[in-house]
């Protein structure tokens, strides 16, 4: 659910600038901190809390947070807050998962849900990517983002990179790189896990791959080409091996 919300970070950032709500510009960090606090509360509420998790919290995480604010004492608090946002906040995500998820069954359930969240967010983003690619000028003018166009960032945190043929579509995220990576991961999941029926897998795969290309993110496209070459070669070698066994 949190990942699903995070993929709409671009939408929330635009709203924060349009309404001049600075609190919305750090909504992701606030949400992560709340999740961390809830995981800590859950850690103490559950009677079966392991000593390892308590040790990580009391002797590693809490001292790190305290030291982070004590070490740069006397410096600008805003600078310290930005450093904390970039260094410590991302660390709280895996720590929170470690506190909340206790056994293999819970990890299996988590990853199963996580995979479907990636798929559905990629599908939703693909619709926006196609729209942004086809109607770049309309998209930019409607949202009033022209000041952030031509490879410039802005207060919203959104960077609108352009090419000779238009906008490098970013879907509902804050950059074309994030959108390209999301669609790339979703395409691999469909190939490897085949989570839907054959017909749906076929449609979603080409729909998502098309969106990945529309982001013009070269890194994911090159990675996708190498991955497909690897799959073709591995299938070819597997067929040769099976024929040798048969004969």
Q: Residue 3: is its pLDDT beyond 90?
A: no
Exposure of 133 in the CB half-sphere (CA atoms within 13 A): 20
More confidently predicted of 60 and 23: 60
Q: Assess whether 6 and 59 both reside in one domain.
A: yes
Cβ neighbors of 158 (< 8 A, separation 6 or more) are: 10, 13, 14, 145, 148, 170, 174, 175
Q: Provide the whole-model pTM.
A: 0.76
Full domain range(s) for residue 157: 103-246
pLDDT at position 224 is 95
- Overall number of domains in the chain: 2
Q: Assess whether 12 and 46 both reside in one domain.
A: yes
Q: Residue 184: is its pLDDT beyond 90?
A: yes
Q: Assess whether 56 and 116 both reside in one domain.
A: no
Backbone angles phi and psi of 152, in degrees to 5 = -120, 145
The residue among 102, 133, 151 that closes a domain is 102
More confidently predicted of 24 and 217: 217
Q: Assess whether 46 and 168 both reside in one domain.
A: no
Q: Assess whether 235 and 118 both reside in one domain.
A: yes
Q: Average pLDDT for residues 51-80, to the nearest whole number?
A: 72
pLDDT at position 59 is 74
Give me the numbers of helices (H) and strands (E) for the chain, helices first please.
Answer: 12, 2
């Amino acid at each position: 659910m949190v990942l699903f919300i995070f993929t709409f970070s671009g939408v929330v950032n635009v709203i924060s600038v349009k309404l001049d709500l600075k609190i919305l510009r750090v909504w992701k960090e606030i949400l992560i901190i709340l999740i961390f606090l809830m995981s800590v509360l859950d850690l103490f509420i559950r009677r079966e809390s392991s000593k390892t998790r308590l040790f990580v919290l009391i002797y590693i995480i809490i001292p790190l947070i305290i030291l982070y604010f004590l070490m740069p004492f006397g410096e600008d608090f805003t600078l310290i807050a930005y450093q904390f946002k970039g260094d410590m906040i991302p660390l709280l995500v895996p720590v929170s998962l470690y506190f909340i998820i206790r056994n293999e069954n819970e990890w299996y359930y988590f990853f199963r849900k996580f995979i479907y969240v990636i798929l559905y967010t990629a599908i939703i983003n693909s619709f926006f990517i196609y729209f942004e690619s086809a109607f770049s000028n309309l998209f930019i003018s409607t949202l009033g983002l022209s000041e952030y166009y031509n490879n410039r960032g802005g207060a919203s945190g959104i960077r609108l990179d352009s090419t000779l043929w238009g906008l490098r579509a970013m879907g509902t995220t804050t950059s074309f790189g994030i959108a390209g990576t999301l669609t790339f991961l979703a395409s691999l999941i469909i190939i490897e896990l085949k989570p839907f029926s054959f017909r749906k897998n076929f449609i979603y795969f080409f729909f998502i791959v098309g969106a990945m290309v529309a982001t013009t993110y070269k890194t994911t496209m090159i990675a996708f080409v190498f991955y497909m070459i690897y799959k073709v070669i591995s299938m070819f070698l597997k067929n040769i091996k099976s024929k040798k066994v048969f004969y």
